[in-house]
Amino acid sequence: MAEKTLLRALAGEVVPTPPIWMMRQAGRYLPEYRATRAQAGDFLSLCYTPDLAAEVTLQPIRRYGFDAAILFADILLVPQALGADLWFVTGEGPRLSTVTTEDDLGRLKGPEDIHDHLAPVYETVRILARELPAETALIGFAGAPWTVATYMIAGRGTPDQGPAHALMRENPALFDALMDRIEAATIDYLSHQVEAGAETVKIFDSWAGSLTGAAFDRYALEPARRITAALKKRHPGLPVIAFPRGAGMRYEGAHAATGADCIALDDGVTPEWAAEHVQVAGCVQGNLASSHMVTGGQALIDETRRIVRAFSKGPHIFNLGHGITPDADPANVQLMIDTVRETVTA
């Protein structure tokens, strides 16, 4: 384990060549993924069939030799395990039954009752722990409570998370109770992933950027801090990555505010600013714009080099600022990896 470069970076070591992985690295841009998804029949069947979920997790490792694999699952499996109805509309994304009243909340299960439903996910982790190359770290993950709550309240993704903000204002007691339920479930879910073999976990707060001021502290930073603390108490030494996407200047201080070992950065901040204001506190991850995976060329090479060099004085994990998109060219992924590994930072 000590030889895994991702874990070394998470421990605060400055690795000469930063470890590389990519959000959504198992996904629709790869033909082998599309073939396996077709075999599964639909997206949720793919998530809940351990052999196939492990297969798509392993595909980008075989193709590219990333330094880490991230469990193939979805952040909305937790609300489904809590009792929400979940389905996917082709071309439009997820749909859920909503939680907007006390009765809706009352119909949800307790956090202790989610694990039978999520057992296939834990089995996927066990398969990966056996089958991944010895040098490849295994990342577990979950959605942060705020981001998961936005979907549970609206029943779908929304441009501004307006329904969640409205419930926060109009019925704060119900909103807080829902957040608490998701937080407790998330702690248990991630803990079970670690018990199954995950070596680090990442908390994805994809919609953190729509929170501001005291709400950002209360609903983005504080839940991440409590989840991280609970996991580290159960699993001493476990490294945690937090991703409050869209945080902007609030990335500064996020290590201390969340207790996370690494803060993942989107491409809304420059690597030079982040090196000065965020990396000084610990490991950072990021932050190449995912559009470069579509357009490629010299701009991809130049920006990759810029990021590697900007973060070369501290612990850094190279990644995108957001997930790779389905229209990305697999050749550009290889170009990115080659550029990272060839860039001289001295």
Active-site pick, 24, 181, 245, 250:
24
Are 287 and 269 within 8 A, CB to CB?
yes
Vertex 230, ends 228 and 233: CA angle to 5°?
Answer: 105
Q: Of 34, 63, 74, 113, which one is the catalytic site residue?
A: 74
Q: Is 34 a catalytic residue?
A: no
Query: Where are the strands (E) in the chain, listed by range?
Result: 68-70, 86-89, 93-96, 137-143, 200-205, 240-244, 262-264, 283-288, 316-320
Q: Which of 151, 162, 175 is nearest to 76 (CA)?
A: 151
Q: Residue 24 catalytic?
A: yes
Q: Where are the alpha helices (DSSP H) in 132-207?
A: 145-154, 162-170, 172-196
- Count, in order, helices (H) and strands (E) of the chain: 17, 9
Q: Which one of 33, 48, 151, 219 is the catalytic residue?
A: 151
Active site residue 338: no
328 and 320 Cβ atoms separated by less than 8 Å: no
Residues 132 and 138: beta-carbon distance below 8 Å: yes
Check whether the bond before 287 is cis (ω within 30° of 0): yes
Residue 203 tokens read as: 């908390």
d(Cα 290, Cα 220) in Å, to the nearest integer? 24
Confirm if 71 and 132 have CB atoms less than 8 A apart: no
Q: Is 28 noted as a catalytic residue in this protein? A: yes
**Could you tell me the two tokens for 12?**
């605060």
Catalytic residue chosen out of the listed positions 37, 126, 234, 306: 37
Catalytic residue status for 74:
yes
List the catalytic residues.
24, 28, 37, 74, 151
